[in-house]
Amino acid sequence: MKKLLKLLTAAALIGGLWTAQASADTIKFSVAAEPYPPFASKSASGKWEGFEIDLIHAICEHLKPSKCEVKETAWDGIIPALTSKKIDVIFASMSITAERQKTIDFSIPYYTTPAAIAARKDSKIDTTAASVKGKTIGVQTATIHENYAKKYFGADATIKIYNTQDDANADLAAGRIDATIADSAALEPFINDNKNIELKGFYPKNDPIFGDGVGAGIRKGDKVKDRIDDAIRAIYKDGTYAKLEKKYFKYDVGTPPKM
């Protein structure tokens, strides 16, 4: 009987160890809870889809034997969720900036698109401060676009902060604001559905506010960074990235890493 108990105890310990190891090898990716097409948004059935969702799945194919989970976190709480270990990787169109790098690490970039300003076609708004003097510009909270608008236009225009870019877009379409600054690729679906709205200009990529492209956010010192970097390089090298890019864009958004 004692021998049987010892065997059962050993089996339980081994089983517990295996479970802990399996759990430890689960990588929790998080997108922002707010819709951000064509990068990540929910279908009518409630399933996440989009360019970044497809990239997550492709990256996970190269992370075997890891198990990957896709979670959603409110944008303004996504960095705290990472640092508190509720998630392991932010994969939510987060620009790599010096300010954010004080708190978290980033993978190598996996896409780069310019910021743009959108307004009604009949407006004379462009990228200059003079053109938005006395106007109201909508931007999403805690973004590089909010930072840019406040720095360059805060003295001339009213900067209205929104929880989501969708809310800013809705107010622009309804005429409650005069313009919105956001990622040009993210503005495209909105403009396609609102023929009286157009892009009025692009902002220079080399402004430090816009950072060094979009990367996966990772906890400081977490070795999963090396694995994510290797996976990003792999999907570029094997053609997966180019295939997914063509599914969502008519132009190149990639930032090919050094192999």
Nearest-angstrom CA–CA distance, 207 and 216: 20
Q: Tell me, what DSSP letter sits at residue 61?
A: H
Instruction: Identify the helix (H) or strand (E) that includes residue 55.
Output: helix 51-61
Cβ atoms of residues 248 and 111 within 8 Å: no
Using an 8 Å Cβ cutoff, are 36 and 163 in contact?
A: no
Beta strands in the chain (DSSP E): 26-32, 41-42, 48-49, 67-73, 89-90, 105-106, 115-120, 136-140, 158-162, 179-183, 197-202, 217-218
Query: What span, in angstroms and rounded, lies between the C-alpha atoms of 72 and 194?
Result: 28
Tens-binned pLDDT, residue by residue, of the chain (259 aa): 444 444 444 444 434 433 333 345 899 999 999 999 999 999 999 999 999 999 999 999 999 878 999 999 999 999 999 999 999 999 999 999 999 999 999 999 999 999 999 999 999 999 999 999 999 999 999 999 999 999 999 999 999 999 999 999 999 999 999 999 999 999 999 999 999 999 999 999 889 999 999 999 999 999 999 999 999 999 999 999 999 999 999 999 998 765 4
Main-chain phi, psi angles of 54, to 5 degrees: -65, -35
Q: Which residues contact 83 (CB under 8 A, 6 or more apart)?
A: 103, 104, 219
Q: In what order do the strands lie in the sheet with 136-140?
A: 158-162, 136-140, 179-183, 115-120, 197-202
List domains and CATH numbers for the chain. 2-112+213-248 (3.40.190.10), 115-210 (3.40.190.10)
Output the pTM of the full model. Answer: 0.85
Parallel, antiparallel or unpaired: strands 48-49 and 41-42: antiparallel
Cα–Cα dist 63/242, whole Å: 19
Concatenate the DSSP letters of all residues of 170-197 into one string.
Answer: HHHHTTSSSEEEEEHHHHHHHHHH-TTE
pLDDT digits (tens, 9 = 90+) for 208-220: 999 999 999 999 9
> What pLDDT, on the 0 to 100 scale, is given for residue 4?
43
pLDDT at position 258: 56
Which among 101, 99, 104 is positioned nearest to 87, based on CA atoms? 104
